Chains A and B, each alone.
Chain A
Amino acid sequence: DADVTQTPRNRITKTGKRIMLECSQTKGHDRMYWYRQDPGLGLRLIYYSFDVKDINKGEISDGYSVSRQAQAKFSLSLESAIPNQTALYFCATSDRTDQPQHFGDGTRLSIL
């Protein structure tokens, strides 16, 4: 089983819909992150959490919200999806900030 699991792997939805992407991890890491990947732009940080009670905005948090339900679970929500949120979304975890991050396989989200 994967250490960092993202669900769903693919999702197609319509403008205005509420979407939730889920991430769970079995690595026991305190730190979790959500990124989006767009062609030619690399990965950009949406939100991050250093523990269950600590949630921080990343560089592109507008239009997104998150919930850290437990150490192992970190969900990303799009309250009212818009087409320019079409992207590949990755969840990642890390133990300490000087340790490498471990990534899930991504969720491909298409908003029509």
Chain B
Amino acid sequence: GNSVTQMEGPVTLSEEAFLTINCTYTATGYPSLFWYVQYPGEGLQLLLKATKADDKGSNKGFEATYRKETTSFHLEKGSVQVSDSAVYFCALSESPGGTSYGKLTFGQGTILTVHP
């Protein structure tokens, strides 16, 4: 079946540091890949997505590139802010025709804390 593996957390950084959160996946076909962010007390919000190999999703200074050869979708930001403190989830949606088409498979989440 499908699976998503994120780097272990929590991650603690100082403001303006570089961020990488690793995400690798196992799926059949060509899944769509997503990063969601969850701020304290809130639901998940879509941060960015990519639907095919070599696509780069970007939003709010965050980027992730769909790498089919390494089955990865690592999240990066060049300079984090205190307001980026949240839980980040990598997820995939299987391509049409797959048995899990239409459902999201999530990684376990990575807690990010940014200090001033």
A residues sitting closer than 8 Å to B (CB atoms) are 4, 31, 33, 40-45, 48, 50, 58, 90, 92, 97-98, 100-106
A105 x B43 contact (CB < 8 A): yes
Closest to A101 in B: B104
Q: Which one of A41, A100, A106 lies within 8 Å of B49 (CB-CB)?
A: A100
| Cβ-defined contact, B101 with A97, below 8 A | yes
CB-based contact B43/A90 at 8 Å: yes
Query: Which chain A residue shows the least CB distance to B106?
Result: A42
Most chain A CB neighbours (cut-off 10 Å) among B96, B103, B108: B103
Least CB distance, A92 to chain B, in whole angstroms? 8
Dominant SS among interface residues on chain A: strand
Given contacts A97-B93, A98-B51, A98-B93, contact A43 B43 (CB under 8 A): no
Chain B positions near chain A (C-beta within 8 angstroms): 4, 32, 34, 36, 41-46, 49, 51, 89, 93, 96, 101-104, 106-109
Q: Which chain B residues border A4 with CB–CB below 8 Å?
A: 43
Cβ-defined partner of A42 (8 Å) among B45, B49, B107: B107
Do A97 and B102 have beta carbons less than 8 Å apart? yes
Q: Determine the distance from Cα of A4 to Cα of B42 in the docked complex, in whole angstroms.
A: 12
Given the contacts A97-B102, A98-B93, A104 and B43 also touching, CB distance less than 8 Å = yes
CB neighbours (8 Å) of A40 from chain B are 108-109
The reply to whether B104 and A31 contact each other, CB–CB distance below 8 Å, is no
Quick one: given A97-B93, A98-B93, are A103 and B44 in contact (CB under 8 Å)?
yes
Known: A43-B89, A106-B42. 19 other contacts (CB 8 A): A40-B109, A42-B107, A42-B108, A42-B109, A43-B104, A43-B106, A45-B103, A45-B104, A50-B102, A58-B103, A90-B43, A97-B96, A98-B51, A100-B34, A101-B44, A104-B43, A105-B41, A105-B42, A105-B43
